[in-house]
């Protein structure tokens, strides 16, 4: 019986004989090819019996006759439509059959089912059919994951529309389909963003926050169409947001992601969506800077579009391969041949898109399509002919490569970005065993990001950690581990644990680098007690234990003195079988250790043989990485304002007198009998070996810790900026803020620095609290003119301060039991006896800080300009969260924040760490031009010798002063000679005059002014500001 007659009389139970007939005779001979419309009609029948029979036959063919799939798949539309049948049996059978067709189709042919599925998704279709169509899409997640990823550009727009549907069932099914589609994205950089992107589709209010998360993603893979399909809906939403900041961020991400697209054809489907939205924003955004960024993104997309238009597109274009198949087959065209050729072309184009170009892969997946028309040998020959033609369409010319004989550890091609900034694009990296590579590049070029990505196994093509053991050495200690002893800190490291290393082995290796009970660094003391140099040695010891194939060293000589730098050089040079990649600003290290140089330039990684000197001969412009004088970058620090009562630049603003300090865990003092002073003209370099006590002395000087013996004094009106050795601790709690937001938060309370109020020296001791609660005898003159005595307790200092007739400060107080401010002032000496000395310092600090705020209001634009003056581009300063910044950029943020309130003294602990030579040159220039005092701890001799005529040498807790300590007295210029600021500009651009320092009045001028004020007061006339200040000062009011 022919298939035609079998289909006419088809009933439930006939399906197995139908399958056997097709398997025995083939699709064409059996007549299925010509009768497929009859089967489709049966499946779509309103008659329950016919429908059930047709659906059962289609299901049986899908499962039992894979060679017939080019025809069987045509039943899918009818199955989905039958989902709305009033008969529950038909509805259930329709769902089973639809799922069976989707699950059994050749994975590479899944794209050919999409037109039938998409046809059932429009809102006018019945919701039951729409839900089944979406469930069919979701099933490809398991049966054809890579092919589903390839089809995402077509799928995402269709499913997105359904996610807004009012019908709950459609909404749920579409969200599930989108999730399963996004699970196969194949880009592990953004896998973790899946849920956030789904949220962005249904909850637009979340878009700004999700855009921030997107900006912090590190890309190490080239961006292909599946990843773009996932991200584009989010970017489109970002472009349509009301806030300019989110529109701008979307434009930046689009601009940068488009640079990561290797094949312009990957981006082609999305350009018609993104370009019009970007162009609209470029015309309508009011903010000129955001408009400029958007215009830049438009230009980049237009360039990409031009490349895509020129490219010979074979993506999804079955017609080109269809013609090749027909030509090679050499048989007459019939409807059946056309169906099979179209089906084979879909499979072949999908294989091309995904890079499946092996002859065996094509034989397996494509040859079977033609077995009804030609014999097996001819089918294989036809497919091989077409495959060769297809390969020609995909040919990419290879670059010539220069090989040497050394053993190759790695040879890979990859792309790297950090957030929205592309660092390396489609670049090659080769590493040989035993070589030492110096990695060079400007600040923010991506040196540390590349090393961290290698360590995290995120670089495409880099050997897996199981093949090549890679260890990243960095000295930063996580806050939550700082209480651990040095031994435990190393021992609990997961990588050490995985190697089954014992504690005894840890103790042994730490001892080899100097961690001994009688040494400066004790192995069983907490890591928080270590200086920066010892932290680096601890990190190196941990790396030594791991017996690495590749060592990744980020600034290994940071914080290290000369002796330890020599030790690191010897250690690296002794590793003949270990490959090292070294990021360093120390030119001596790169010259003495490196066998090769890797340079990041123009988004590519370039390799050169030889050390740094050899490299500079080839690339003289690279000298700027290591020379201060070559620096083109310029920093500019705000000049300190005048200080009341200080006329000479040589007058001390900070003093330490005979200070001795011991850490709680130690028996012997860290510092012995230290006396120093700092003035506006100070230029001091503090040097000494690791652990000698340099940072401890600076902490005493700025009030972060208190001495057990001796005194520390600061001028009440002086403002101090302090950048700590472990600089990032200033911003650790604020990484979700942009640098601009952080500075505005820090100084928001009328210019008070929130960071300065948490120092130990501002916390009251138990003794001081006891004194404050003890009644103190206070003398005052009553209304009758008699001197009276009364015992009172001060509850707080209100914040006011004035100068009395003896030229001493008095502070406004509030007494215990009083509900209002008393308006009364007590002298400094009295308040010190009452235990309020630290509160006095806090009042002085607030008044000094407010004085620094006057000239520059705390506006976004002013802070942005200030950050640029300190070397941080506005893109990173205002639009990036600090969590997404590099080490060098974070140091600039900390420096800018410390300099905002125009300090008189700048104290820098290891400022040269994390900054490249260009930034160091700019910092040196800014320090030279700075009119205040500077104290710096540094191991960088070139840096301190250029700037500092005076040196404090710290040796095991004892201080010796060297150099020209009296130089400041020699150039002791009068502060009045300094150029005064005469104008200030507020956030709105209004300019107002700023009063300079008051001229000191002679006794004769004072008498005349007093007479004038008394006369005005008697006649009830108003006083001007200067007269009013004078009247308060002389107690006339």
pLDDT digits (tens, 9 = 90+) for 154-165: 888 888 888 888
CA distances from 744 to 730, 862, 878, 894, 896 (A): 14, 10, 11, 13, 12
Confidence of residue 964 (pLDDT cuts 50, 70, 90): low
Given a cut of 70, whether residue 503 has pLDDT beyond it is yes
Between the ranges 92-101, 386-395, 931-940, 997-1006, where is the mean pLDDT highest? 92-101
Given a cut of 50, whether residue 986 has pLDDT beyond it is no
Which of 1009 and 1002 is assigned the larger pLDDT? 1009
Task: Render pLDDT for 404-452 as a digit per residue (tens, 0 to 9).
Answer: 556 788 888 888 877 667 788 778 888 888 889 999 887 667 787 888 8
CB 42 within 8 A of CB 18: no
CB 841 within 8 A of CB 714: yes
- Average per-residue pLDDT for the chain: 79
Q: Which helix (H) or strand (E) holds 171?
A: helix 168-182
CB 215 within 8 A of CB 421: no
Confidence of residue 1018 (pLDDT cuts 50, 70, 90): confident
> Considering only CA atoms, which of 644, 736, 762, 512 is closest in space to residue 998?
644
Question: What's the pLDDT at 398?
Answer: 40
Return the structure tokens found at 775.
């009644």
Confidence of residue 97 (pLDDT cuts 50, 70, 90): very high
Task: Please state, in angstroms and rounded to a whole number, the distance separating the CA atoms of residues 716 and 700.
Answer: 17
Question: What's the pLDDT at 976?
Answer: 39
> Considering only CA atoms, which of 128, 403, 1013, 168 is closest in space to residue 176?
168
Question: What's the pLDDT at 199?
Answer: 81
Given a cut of 80, whether residue 760 has pLDDT beyond it is no
Q: Which helix (H) or strand (E) holds 941?
A: helix 941-947
CA dihedral 798, 804, 806, 810 (to 10 degrees): 0
Question: What's the pLDDT at 1037?
Answer: 61
CB 6 within 8 A of CB 17: yes
Question: What's the pLDDT at 981?
Answer: 40
Which of 802 and 237 is assigned the larger pLDDT? 237
Per-residue burial over 143-162, b if 16 or more Cβ lie within 10 Å, else e, is ebbbbbbbbbbbbbbbbbeb
Please provide residue 909's backbone torsions phi and psi, each rounded to the nearest 5 degrees: -105, 105
Given a cut of 50, whether residue 652 has pLDDT beyond it is yes
> Considering only CA atoms, which of 692, 700, 609, 611 is closest in space to residue 654?
700
Task: Render pLDDT for 125-148 as a digit per residue (tens, 0 to 9).
Answer: 999 999 999 999 999 988 888 888
CB 948 within 8 A of CB 685: yes
Query: Angle 718-719-723 (CA atoms, 0-180°, nearest 5)?
Result: 140
> Considering only CA atoms, which of 443, 409, 398, 401 is closest in space to residue 423?
443
Given a cut of 50, whether residue 489 has pLDDT beyond it is yes
> Considering only CA atoms, which of 641, 687, 698, 635 is closest in space to residue 932?
641
If DSSP codes are grouped into helix, strand and coil, which group holds residue 935?
strand
Given a cut of 50, whether residue 971 has pLDDT beyond it is no
> Considering only CA atoms, which of 381, 384, 432, 430 is closest in space to residue 406?
432
CB 874 within 8 A of CB 795: no
> Considering only CA atoms, which of 723, 748, 678 is closest in space to residue 893?
723
Work out the burial of residue 385: count CB atoms within 10 Å of its CB; fewer than 13 is exposed, 13-18 middle, 19 or more buried.
middle
Confidence of residue 95 (pLDDT cuts 50, 70, 90): very high
Question: What's the pLDDT at 521?
Answer: 78
Confidence of residue 315 (pLDDT cuts 50, 70, 90): low
Neighbours of 9 (CB within 10 A): 9
Task: Please state, in angstroms and rounded to a whole number, the distance separating the CA atoms of residues 746 and 96.
Answer: 63
CA dihedral 121, 123, 126, 130 (to 10 degrees): 30
Between the ranges 790-804, 826-840, 886-900, where is the mean pLDDT highest? 886-900
Neighbours of 497 (CB within 10 A): 10
Please provide residue 675's backbone torsions phi and psi, each rounded to the nearest 5 degrees: -130, 120
Mean pLDDT of 681-685: 85
The residues with which 687 forms a beta bridge, in sequence order, are: 953
Return the structure tokens found at 343.
């089906």
Given a cut of 70, whether residue 785 has pLDDT beyond it is no
The percent of residues above 90 in pLDDT, for the chain, comes to: 7
CA distances from 396 to 262, 391, 393, 428 (A): 12, 10, 9, 16
Given a cut of 90, whether residue 772 has pLDDT beyond it is no
Mean pLDDT of 490-506: 84
If DSSP codes are grouped into helix, strand and coil, which group holds residue 774?
coil
Which of 984 and 499 is assigned the larger pLDDT? 499
Mean pLDDT of 478-493: 75
Question: What's the pLDDT at 974?
Answer: 37
CB 199 within 8 A of CB 206: yes
Least confident of 20-29, 63-72, 748-757, 839-848: 748-757
Neighbours of 695 (CB within 10 A): 22
> Considering only CA atoms, which of 295, 294, 302, 300 is closest in space to residue 244?
294
CA distances from 184 to 139, 190, 233, 510, 849 (A): 12, 11, 17, 46, 55
If DSSP codes are grouped into helix, strand and coil, which group holds residue 646?
coil
Question: What's the pLDDT at 751?
Answer: 60
Task: Please state, in angstroms and rounded to a whole number, the distance separating the CA atoms of residues 718 and 641.
Answer: 10
């Amino acid at each position: 019986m022919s298939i035609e007659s079998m289909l006419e009389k088809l009933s439930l139970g006939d399906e197995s004989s139908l399958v056997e007939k097709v398997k025995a005779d083939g699709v064409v001979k059996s007549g299925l090819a010509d009768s497929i419309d009859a089967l489709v009609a049966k499946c779509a029948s309103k008659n329950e019996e016919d429908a059930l029979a047709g659906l059962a036959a289609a299901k049986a063919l899908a499962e039992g006759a894979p060679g017939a799939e080019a025809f069987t798949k045509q039943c899918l539309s009818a199955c989905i439509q039958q989902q709305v049948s009033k008969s529950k049996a038909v509805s259930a059978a329709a769902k089973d059959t639809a799922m069976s067709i989707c699950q059994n189709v050749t994975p590479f042919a899944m794209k050919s089912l999409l037109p039938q599925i998409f046809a059932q998704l429009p809102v006018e279709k019945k919701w039951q059919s729409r839900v089944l169509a979406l469930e069919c899409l979701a099933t490809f997640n398991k049966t054809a994951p890579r092919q589903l990823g390839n089809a995402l550009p077509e799928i995402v727009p269709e499913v997105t529309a359904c996610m807004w549907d009012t019908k709950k069932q459609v909404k749920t099914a579409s969200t599930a389909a989108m999730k399963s589609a996004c699970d196969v994205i194949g880009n592990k950089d953004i896998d973790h963003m899946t849920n956030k992107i789904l949220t962005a589709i249904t909850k637009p209010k979340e878009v700004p926050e999700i855009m921030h998360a997107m900006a912090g993603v590190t890309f190490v893979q080239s961006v292909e169409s599946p990843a773009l399909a996932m991200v584009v809906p989010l970017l489109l939403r970002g472009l349509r947001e009301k806030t300019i900041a989110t529109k701008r961020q979307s434009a930046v991400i689009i601009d940068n992601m488009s640079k990561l697209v290797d094949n312009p054809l990957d981006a082609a489907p999305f350009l018609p969506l993104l370009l019009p939205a970007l162009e609209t924003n470029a015309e309508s955004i009011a903010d000129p800077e955001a408009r400029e960024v958007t215009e830049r993104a438009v230009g980049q997309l237009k360039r990409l579009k031009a490349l895509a238009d020129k490219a010979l597109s074979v993506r999804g274009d079955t017609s080109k391969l269809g013609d090749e198949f027909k030509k090679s087959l050499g048989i007459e065209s019939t409807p059946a041949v056309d169906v099979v050729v179209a089906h084979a072309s879909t499979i072949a184009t999908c294989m091309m898109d995904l890079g499946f170009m092996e002859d065996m892969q094509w034989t397996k997946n494509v040859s079977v399509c033609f077995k009804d028309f030609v014999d097996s040998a001819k089918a294989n020959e036809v497919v091989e002919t077409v495959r060769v033609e297809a390969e020609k369409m995909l040919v990419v010319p290879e670059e010539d490569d220069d090989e040497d004989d050394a053993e190759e550890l790695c040879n890979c091609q990859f792309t790297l970005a950090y957030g929205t900034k592309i660092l390396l694009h489609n670049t090659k990296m080769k590493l040989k065993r035993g070589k030492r590579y110096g990695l060079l590049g400007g600040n923010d070029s991506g040196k540390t990001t590349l090393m961290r990505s290698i360590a995290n196994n995120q670089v495409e093509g880099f050997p897996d950690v199981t093949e090549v053991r890679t260890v990243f050495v960095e000295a930063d200690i996580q806050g939550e581990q700082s209480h651990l002893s040095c031994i435990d800190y190393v021992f609990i490291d997961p990588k050490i644990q995985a190697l089954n290393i014992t504690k005894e082995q840890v103790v042994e290796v730490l001892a080899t680098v100097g961690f001994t009970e009688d040494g400066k660094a004790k192995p069983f003391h907490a890591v928080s007690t270590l200086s920066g140099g010892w932290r680096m040695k601890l990190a190196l010891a941990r790396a030594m234990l791991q017996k690495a194939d590749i060592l990744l060293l980020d600034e290994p000589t940071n914080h290290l003195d000369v002796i330890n730098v020599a030790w690191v050089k010897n250690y690296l040079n002794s590793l003949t079988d270990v490959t090292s990649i070294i990021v360093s600003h120390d030119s001596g290290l790169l010259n003495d250790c490196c066998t090769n140089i890797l340079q990041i330039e123009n988004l590519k990684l370039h390799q050169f043989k030889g050390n740094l000197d050899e490299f500079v001969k080839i690339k003289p412009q690279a000298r700027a990485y290591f020379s201060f004088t070559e620096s083109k970058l310029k920093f500019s620090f705000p000049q300190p304002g005048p200080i009341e009562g200080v006329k000479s630049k040589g007058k001390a603003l900070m003093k330490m007198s005979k200070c001795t300090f011991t850490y709680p865990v130690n028996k012997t003092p860290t510092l012995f009998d230290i006396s120093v002073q700092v003035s506006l003209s100070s230029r001091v370099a503090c040097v000494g070996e690791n652990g000698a006590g340099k940072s401890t002395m600076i902490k005493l000087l700025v009030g972060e810790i208190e001495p057990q013996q001796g005194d520390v004094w600061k001028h009440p009106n002086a403002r101090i900026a302090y950048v700590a050795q472990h600089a990032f601790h200033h911003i650790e709690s604020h990484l979700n803020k942009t640098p601009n937001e952080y500075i505005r938060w820090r100084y928001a309370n009328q210019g008070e620095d929130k960071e300065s109020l948490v120092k130990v020296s501002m916390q009251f001791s138990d003794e001081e609290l006891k004194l404050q609660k003890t009644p103190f005898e206070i003398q005052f003159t009553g209304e009758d003119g008699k001197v009276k005595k009364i015992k009172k307790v001060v509850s707080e200092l209100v914040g006011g301060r004035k100068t009395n007739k003896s030229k001493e400060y008095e502070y406004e107080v509030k007494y215990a039991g009083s509900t209002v401010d008393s308006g009364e002032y007590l002298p400094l000496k009295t308040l010190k006896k009452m235990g309020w000395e630290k509160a006095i310092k806090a009042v002085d600090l607030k008044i000094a800080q407010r004085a620094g705020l006057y000239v520059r209001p705390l506006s976004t634009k002013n802070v942005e300009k200030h950050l640029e003056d300190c070397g941080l581009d506005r893109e990173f300063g205002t639009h990036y969260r600090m969590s997404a910044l590099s080490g060098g950029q974070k140091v600039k943020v900390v420096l800018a924040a410390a300099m905002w309130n125009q300090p008189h003294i700048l104290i820098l602990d290891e400022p040269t760490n994390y900054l490249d030579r260009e930034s160091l040159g700019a910092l040196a220039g800014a320090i030279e031009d700075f009119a205040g005092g500077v104290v710096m701890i540094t191991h960088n001799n070139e840096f301190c010798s250029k700037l500092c005529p005076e040196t404090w040498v710290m040796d095991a807790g004892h201080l010796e002063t060297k150099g020209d300590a009296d130089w400041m007295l020699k150039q002791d210029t009068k502060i009045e000679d300094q150029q005064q600021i005469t104008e200030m500009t507020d956030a709105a651009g209004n300019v107002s005059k700023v009063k300079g320092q008051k001229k000191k009045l002679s006794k004769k001028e004072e008498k005349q002014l007093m007479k004038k004020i008394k006369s005005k007061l008697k006649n009830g006339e108003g006083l001007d500001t200067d007269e009013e200040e004078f009247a308060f000062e002389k107690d006339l009011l």
